[in-house]
Amino acid sequence: MKKMLESIAVPVIAVLIALVISAFVILAIGKNPIQAYKILLHGAFGSKQAIIDTLIKSTPLILTGLAVGFGFRAGVFNIGAEGQMGMGALVAATFASNFGGLPPAIAIPLTLLLGMAAGAGWAAIAGLLKAKTGAHEVVTTIMLNWITTYIASFMVTGPLVTGYGSPKSPEISTSAQLPILMRVGAMELSAGILISILAAIFMYVFLNKTTTGYEIKAVGFNPYAAEYGGISVSKNIILAMAISGALAGLAGVTELMGVHHRFLGELAGGKGFDGISIALIGQNNPIGIIFAAILIGALRTGSNEMQFMGVSKYIVMITQAIVIFLVAADRIVRAIYARKKVTA
């Protein structure tokens, strides 16, 4: 219980400190920080439309956060959620424009599976390389990110190209689009948010209740002891990467099926990398990750509104950076605290 409180306290305090520091930055550019935060809050949660916008922005962030967080729990640093997300959306988009003849009950799960499988497969390449050759996943997943970028731009300017203007794929069949839960003005909240929450539940149950979860955690904590206990380290590294990649692929495919309905050149747009920050703020805990993703989503939505009073939306990037810095520096803070206690 005390431990749980402590793990919640760190990110919450980090956010508060970050807001205070950002307030000074806003002050320095000659604006009123209290006013700015009021508008930020209003922009993120002030109306039905704002709340829906925040949730739409948070959906892929929850999923990439889960992807990276799952990797951390399994002892792998999947920095390639960005590429896996893109791959998931790209592969699904390639097929899903032809699903018109299928009923949604088949087309939707099929498209979701395609996206997850593509993300899983893409990440499993890095897992395989780590298991068999020891190549570090940070290096290989970044390389795979670039490969994704180039494959995607080839596909949307070549085989899939459609219409004029910015490169994009044809729209996916209506039967493969996610149902809309709520519509306010032009804002459509799709079932993607439910999928992301289901994914968080999956991660919790998988890691805490199943034997495979036990094995994956064992390998992450101590691969020697795992091997000693008859757990195959290489199999579990590949599996951990694949599951992490499937979650990232799911982020891509829900974006595709619930928001854009077609593959755009810049679909992932850094959300895969945001997943790293979100996993960090959420302390790799599925529920923590949901809240962290909503926090980041809210900052992003609210910052648009803040621009109208002349405060750059990049202020929230500063806030986000300080939060991450403080959460990561948690240990430093603890060490300083411990030292003080002895001297006193």
Partner 1 sequence: MSETVSQARHGYAVEMIEITKNFPGVLANDKVTIRIKTGEIHAIVGENGAGKSTLMNQLYGLYRQDSGEIRIFGEKKVFFGPRDAIKAGIGMVHQHFMLVDTLTATENVVLGSEPVKGLNFDIRGSRQKVKELSEKYGLYVDVDAKIEDMPVGMQQRVEIIKTLYRGAEIIILDEPTAVLTPQEVEELFLIMKNLQKNGKTILFISHKLNEVMEISERITVMRGGKVTAELITKETSEREIARAMVGRDVVLKIDKLPHRPGNVIFEVKDLWVKDNRRLEAVNGVLLQVRQGEVVGIAGVAGNGQTELVEAITGLRKTEKGQLIFQGKDVTGAHPRTLREMGMTHIPEDRFKYGLIKPFPAYYNIILGRHYKTPFAKGAFLDHKEVKRYASEVMEEFDIRPRIIEHLGGNFSGGNQQKLVVGREIKANPKFMIVAQPTRGLDVGAIEFIHNQILRMRGQDVGILLVSMELEEIFSLSDRILVMYEGEIMGEVRPEETTIEEVGLMMAGKRLEEVRGDKQ
Shortest CB 212 distance to partner 1, Å: 7
Q: Which amino acid is at 213?
A: G
CA distance 232 to 234: 6
Q: Quick one: which segment of 152-160, 229-237, 253-261, 278-286 binds partner 1 (CB under 8 A)? A: 229-237
Q: Which of the residues 320 through 339 are near partner 1 (CB under 8 A)? A: 339
Shorter beta-carbon distance to partner 1: residue 133 or 166: 133
Decide: 298 and 53 in contact? Cβ < 8 Å: no
Sequence-ordered list of residues with C-beta below 8 angstroms from that of 209, at least 6 positions apart, any chain: none
Q: Is 225 in the site for partner 1 (CB under 8 A)?
A: yes
DSSP per-residue letters across 266-323:
TSSTTHHHHHHHHHHHTTT-HHHHHHHHHHHHHHHHHHHHHHTTT--TTHHHHHHHHH
In angstroms, give the least distance from the CB of 331 to partner 1: 15
Contact 23, 277 (CB under 8 A): no
Kindly state whether residue 229 participates in binding partner 1, applying the rule CB under 8 A. Answer: yes
For partner 1, the binding residue among 32, 212, 304, 307 (CB under 8 A) is 212
Which CB sits closer to partner 1, 7 or 307?
Answer: 7
Which of 171, 188, 227, 330 binds partner 1 (CB under 8 A)? It is: 227
Residue identified by tokens 């992450």 is 220
Piece of 83-91, 171-179, 227-235, 296-304 that binds partner 1 (CB under 8 A)? 227-235
Burial class (CB in 10 A: 0-12, 13-18, 19+), 135: middle
For 51-184, where are the E strands, in sequence order? 180-184
Nearest distance, CB of residue 231 and partner 1, angstroms: 7
Q: How far apart are CB 326 and partner 1 at their closest, in Å?
A: 23
> Within a 10 A sphere around the Cβ of 188, how many other Cβ atoms?
15
Q: How far apart are CA 219 and CA 227, in angstroms?
A: 8
Region of 4-12, 173-181, 203-211, 289-297 interacting with partner 1 (CB under 8 A)? 203-211
Q: Is position 230 an interface residue for partner 1 (rule: CB under 8 A)?
A: yes
Binding of residue 5 to partner 1 (CB under 8 A): no
> Which of 210, 314, 325, 332 contacts partner 1 by CB under 8 A?
210
Residues paired with residue 180 on neighbouring β-strands, in sequence order: 190
Q: What are the φ/ψ torsions at residue 125 (nearest 5 degrees)?
A: -60, -45
> Is 204 among the residues that bind partner 1 (CB under 8 A)?
no
Kindly determine how many residues on this chain lie close enough to bind partner 1 according to the rule CB under 8 A: 22
Interface with partner 1, residue 237, by CB under 8 A? no
- Closest CB to partner 1 among residues 12, 335: 335
Contact, 300 vs 320, CB < 8 A?
Answer: no
Which residues make up the interface to partner 1 (CB under 8 A)? 209-212, 214-215, 217-218, 221-222, 224-232, 339, 342-343
